[in-house]
Structure 1
């Protein structure tokens, strides 16, 4: 294991991690990356080797906005403010580190699923430049409507209640307008879209097939290549059953938990 690998960081809103989040954070520790988890609360069950820090070091998290949207919503703003402040690689808490991130790789992001849009579950971009400036300006100075919204999205936005915070109105019109849609749009505007890695590097398994991680007969490794760095587990799309029950023996999730000493029974819910 190489010492002094690049730092990675994420955000957690709440007091307890689910077992897949424990697994994914531990995987980065195991690969030698210093891992910081910024928290809104006192997290009770962070894996060994993960440094916990207050989210307020990066930005105040408006919990009333979180309550109107989702726990992951504000992470779309937080990640770029964190990158700007620290230069760390952003990792979602459901991104499993398959191989260490190369020291020389300045741009780490890729398309996912079957539609070609960029995902922002793992992101490294320069702290200075048009892309991060555009993203931060978008979040800090929300326009009346995101510039890429089509007619139907704009109609959905117009139907939202006027007394809602504008960010919430945008979210309810289009859930990914702060996440992949924004990242894809601004990367296209700045020319950084062309720097995207192939999907097998960060999202080898398409989102639409995420049940494969819990299938003892599934072949997750069939999607993984010699160039894969991260395997996204897509916990936002996990079926309720897998949130409440441990993974089946010999499934990818079960095998990786066993490799890294994670007890799934202790992180269900």
Structure 2
């Protein structure tokens, strides 16, 4: 089986125990991790290869979602550029925990998160994949109106564009280049047939995500012999642990047990408070 390294992005700043845990999970199964950054990053586990993210995309192209301030747009753009430029690499979000080494026999690694959604939190596409080509083209044109938007969103965007007021991707609804884009394009290009069932990459679904941080809960019921990764739903999980557990995982939760397994001290890298408390609470109560 071909060996792959893992590519991740962290723009700058400190890693919390949650990102440390995910990175360490790859290292502990013997998989090389390359962490791309635009600025200084602290709390990086030993053994990680740090790389300048400007090798893939210049800093001037960093995109933030205007409503939330999230760098998810840039992350979506960065990952497809990385896959196109680098050899033998698989993208992993910094909230993707490795159960066993990531690999692929056909160049594809992506999976269903829900019956209607293929997620790109873990992503590999062959260099000649039409989906990879299409994603790169869409992310080059931030004013392009996505075909995957439903009519109730797409029609007002068309109206605004025809009126001379086109909307930039940073002002469009959340996730314009995310899972909806990946799902639609994989289906259009007849590549969704390569997507793994949910148990492989996203065994614990979004609606059950809090089970991973609650003491005494048993999310292991979702994990099978085919499971390659567990997704922690970073933004939501960080908000939940920050708000409910003061930024430190409960030792009797799945995440609490995993940080102990991998030798991570969460008190040395807690999930810190953020300025936008209202948004934090909204994410917890969603």
Same fold, TM-score > 0.5, yes or no: yes
The answer as to 2:103 corresponding to 1:107 is no
Give the paired residue count: 263
TM-score w.r.t. length of structure 1: 0.90
Q: What is the CA–CA distance in structure 2 between the aligned matches of 1:259 and 1:156, rounded to whole Å?
A: 50
CA contact (8 A) 1:8 1:36 kept: yes
CA contact (8 A) 2:138 2:144 kept: no
Q: What is the CA–CA distance in structure 1 between the aligned matches of 2:82 and 2:202, rounded to whole Å?
A: 22
Structure 1 alignment gaps of length 5 or more: none
Displacement, 1:49?
A: 1.1
Structure 1 range deviating more: 148-157 or 8-17: 148-157
CA contact (8 A) 2:93 2:122 kept: yes
CA contact (8 A) 1:5 1:34 kept: no
The answer as to 2:153 corresponding to 1:153 is yes
Displacement, 1:105?
A: 4.9
Q: Output aligned runs, 1:49-60, within 5 Å.
A: 49-60=47-58
* 2:77 match: 77
TM-score w.r.t. length of structure 2: 0.85
Q: What is the CA–CA distance in structure 1 between the aligned matches of 2:168 and 2:60, rounded to whole Å?
A: 13
Cα 1:152–1:64 change in 2 (3 A) is same
Cα 1:52–1:222 change in 2 (3 A) is same
The answer as to 2:248 corresponding to 1:250 is no
Q: Output aligned runs, 1:206-225, within 5 Å.
A: 206-225=205-224
The runs of at least 4 aligned residues of structure 1 exceeding 6 Å deviation read: 162-165
The answer as to 2:265 corresponding to 1:263 is yes
Displacement, 1:45?
A: 1.1
Q: What is the CA–CA distance in structure 2 between the aligned matches of 1:163 and 1:63, rounded to whole Å?
A: 22
Structure 1 range deviating more: 251-260 or 133-142: 133-142
CA contact (8 A) 2:160 2:166 kept: no
Deviations 1:107-126 (A, max 9, x none): 1101114x431000001111
Cα 1:264–1:156 change in 2 (3 A) is farther
Cα 1:145–1:38 change in 2 (3 A) is same
